[in-house]
Structure 1
Amino acid sequence: VMVKSKAKKSEVKKQSSSRSEADDAAQLAEDAQALMDRFDVHEAMKLYRRALHLEPDNAALLEAFGEACLQMGQRDEACEAFGRSVELQPDGGAHRYMYLGQLRSGAEAVESFARGVAILRSERAAVEQRSGSREELQQAWVEATHALVSGLCSTAEIYLTDACDEPNAEESCEALAMEALSLVESLEVQTLAEPFVTAANLRLSQQRNDEATELLVKACSVVSSCDEANLPPFDLRLSMCRMLMEVDLSAEAVEHLQNLRLEDDDSLELRYLLCYAAFQTNNTELGADELEKAIAFAQTPACDPDEKEWLPQLLELQSEQAGMEG
């Protein structure tokens, strides 16, 4: 659950050890955030480092620096920054623990997610004690529920991957996934596809494909009803498409993959899945056209080196199709 936060000048000052250092570190943090807002992460990192030199034990600064590290792909440094931030301020924002859950593995990841979910539960419960208009409280309740659901799904997913060998992994995953489903289904308007995708992933791992299919149909419905601003994350929708293909809903997969293609023209994994799904639905014209374009793009300098690992699979798919046609 990647929830972006901003290190406010007041928060940095609050946690500073002296007034002059507070002013200097807070100004550096503010300038760094301005650079982040302009997507100049490289320069922002330099300012965050200078601020941390002045205030190495400032939890808010460490959190902001960790988020910048993530954007630069520096996972180890991000993990260290978030870890130090939660040591200094254990009861702060839940998203720091959720980041750590994604950056760590095994039992450590499970523990981090559990701490984050505990905070999200408390925040949701606290909404009931707030005062305000009914509309404001309802909106706060929905937002808190969404945050908790997302946290539960992230924790469930770790039991399906890195923590699958942990004791009672399947039972823990089941409880988390079903709680997430029950929470989102209690809402009047369905705008989260994540719990349906997570539960479907679990059901597929249990070879309960009929139940997985029902859940994926619901996920597709949610995605299709979302406006552009509220679409689920790209990677979640890509995972949904993989599962749709696994349960023989390739026509639905093609539709969603084509929409994803409009958002990211550089992902060879997406292109491979689109080609494969098109061939599964006997749309050979679309499959062949996309396959030719994908292979051509993979052989250009514009293609990210990490994406080129999909080229052998694209070529294999091309060979298979040529054999079938021959």
Structure 2
Amino acid sequence: MAFAMDNFDLARASFKRALDAEPENLEFLEGYGSFLAETGAQAEAATVLRRAVQLQPEEGFEKYMYLGQLVDDSAEAEQHVRKGIAILRSYMQQQAAEPQPAEGTDEAEEAADARDHLQATLCSCLVSLAEVLLTKGQHGAEGVAPVAAECEQLLGEARELSAASPEPLQALASLRQQQGKDEEALALLRQSLALWFKPSVDSDDEEAEEEEGEEGGKAAGKKPAAAAAAAAKAEGSGSEEEEEGEEEMELEDDSDVEELPSYEFRFETAKLLLELDESVDTASQVLEQLLEENDTDPNVWLLLALCCQGGGDLEGALECAEEGMKLCKLLQLPSDNEMVTGFESMQSELQAMMEGEKKAAKAAGKADGKKR
């Protein structure tokens, strides 16, 4: 209950008390391991889940799937994911062999829902294995050649299991990218996006609104990504009435949020879009959506800064980079951290580019004056 309510400290304490009383209770071990994995304590999560594997190696596919994400060694990760898939397939076969309820009954509907859920779960697991195999291989067409055929087979089965899932298509896009087939990769990524992404107002409408001055002042002229940065800065400054209204809207929109892929999946979507798509519009919208859900991840600010820079919005890019640096300081990341150095170099580069633009504009102004 504490975990469900985001009271992580209380949840951790409750799990520890339970395991102190029953250190070999599999339900507690698997629950604590998944809790640790979800809250970022990866090393401890792997230790707990490995203990659960020792106690019950032939049941419970979830612990193997988590371990596949947690361990650093790609061969061990592959071993865990394959084991998890084998257990899940066995469970599905057992379910299929059981007597089925009569058609049209509530029991039949529940059985169908359970079957669909298991198929969607197996779909995700197969995608996870394909991703592990792609990570294990070398970059480039030659590097992925040894695993390409199996990845194709895994992702093909995943698509058959859950046609509504965007995961297999995005993983296939990653494979095509590594094979050097960027056009095909982008086409597949767009198919994946079509299953969940709803574009915001198109650029023509936004330009019309800006021309009408609906936003007023400088805010009207800001590009979407820069506006996202400004909105994040202003978060929490609204009135109590506004906050209550937002809470009501959140409750109404719960069903829509549940239909979205995971935060991590959408972050990877934005990364792929930046690498494959000449336009940064869709990537920017995906990242802005992520910031609306959680504006404390410097990785998202870094990608959004790159989007702004790619779209020619240097001011917006600098704002995003500055927000990212603030978060790095709040997280107390060391000065030699890759994220910190990345933001610092980006800020320097952007400031130099903006200064260059000012000088060029000034020189152009002088040239026009001389002509007159």
Identify the TM-score tier after normalising by the shorter chain.
0.7 to 0.9
Question: Does structure 1 conserve the Cα–Cα contact (< 8 Å) formed by 2:328 and 2:340?
Answer: no
Distance 2:260 2:114 in 1: 20
- Matched AA of 1:256: V
How far the C-alpha of 1:71 sits from its partner, in A, is: 4.3
- Correspondence for 1:31: none
The answer for unaligned runs of 5 or more in structure 2 is 199-254, 334-338, 361-372
Alignment of 1:13-28 (within 5 A): none
Which of 298, 319, 323 is matched with 1:268 structurally?
298
Question: Does structure 2 conserve the Cα–Cα contact (< 8 Å) formed by 1:197 and 1:216?
Answer: yes
Question: Does structure 2 conserve the Cα–Cα contact (< 8 Å) formed by 1:69 and 1:78?
Answer: yes
The answer to whether structure 1 residue 256 and structure 2 residue 282 are counterparts is no
- Matched AA of 2:34: E
Q: Secondary structure at the match of 2:270?
A: helix
Which of 239, 246, 254 is matched with 2:275 structurally?
246
Deviations 1:287-318 (A, max 9, x none): 52353254156236874334645422431451
How far the C-alpha of 1:169 sits from its partner, in A, is: 3.4
Could you say which structure has the larger radius of gyration?
2
TM-score by length of 2: 0.68
The answer for unaligned runs of 5 or more in structure 1 is 1-33
Distance 1:324 1:152 in 2: 50
Question: Does structure 2 conserve the Cα–Cα contact (< 8 Å) formed by 1:59 and 1:86?
Answer: no
The answer to whether structure 1 residue 193 and structure 2 residue 166 are counterparts is yes
Question: Does structure 2 conserve the Cα–Cα contact (< 8 Å) formed by 1:94 and 1:119?
Answer: yes
Distance 2:167 2:175 in 1: 12
Distance 2:154 2:349 in 1: 38
Distance 2:321 2:145 in 1: 43
TM-score by length of 1: 0.77
The answer to whether structure 1 residue 128 and structure 2 residue 96 are counterparts is yes
Question: Does structure 2 conserve the Cα–Cα contact (< 8 Å) formed by 1:98 and 1:116?
Answer: yes
Alignment of 1:165-176 (within 5 A): 168-176=146-154
Question: Does structure 1 conserve the Cα–Cα contact (< 8 Å) formed by 2:298 and 2:328?
Answer: no
The answer to whether structure 1 residue 184 and structure 2 residue 165 are counterparts is no
Distance 1:62 1:195 in 2: 31
- Correspondence for 1:37: 4
- Matched AA of 1:204: Q
- Matched AA of 2:159: L
Cα separation, partners in 2 of 1:320 and 1:143, compared to 1, 3 Å: farther
- Matched AA of 1:44: A
- Correspondence for 1:211: 184
- Matched AA of 1:82: L
Deviations 1:136-181 (A, max 9, x none): 3332222111100110111111122246589943433333223223
- Correspondence for 1:288: 315
Question: Does structure 1 conserve the Cα–Cα contact (< 8 Å) formed by 2:34 and 2:63?
Answer: no
Cα separation, partners in 2 of 1:77 and 1:163, compared to 1, 3 Å: farther
Q: Secondary structure at the match of 1:95?
A: helix
- Correspondence for 2:223: none
- Correspondence for 1:20: none
Cα separation, partners in 2 of 1:211 and 1:137, compared to 1, 3 Å: farther
Deviations 1:115-142 (A, max 9, x none): 1111222333344345234433332222
169-178 or 151-160, larger mean C-alpha shift: 169-178
Distance 1:280 1:52 in 2: 51
- Correspondence for 2:231: none
Cα separation, partners in 2 of 1:107 and 1:141, compared to 1, 3 Å: same
Question: Does structure 2 conserve the Cα–Cα contact (< 8 Å) formed by 1:107 and 1:163?
Answer: no
Which of 112, 125, 132 is matched with 1:158 structurally?
132
Distance 1:57 1:228 in 2: 37
Provide the alpha-carbon RMSD of the alignment. Answer: 2.8
Q: Secondary structure at the match of 2:172?
A: helix
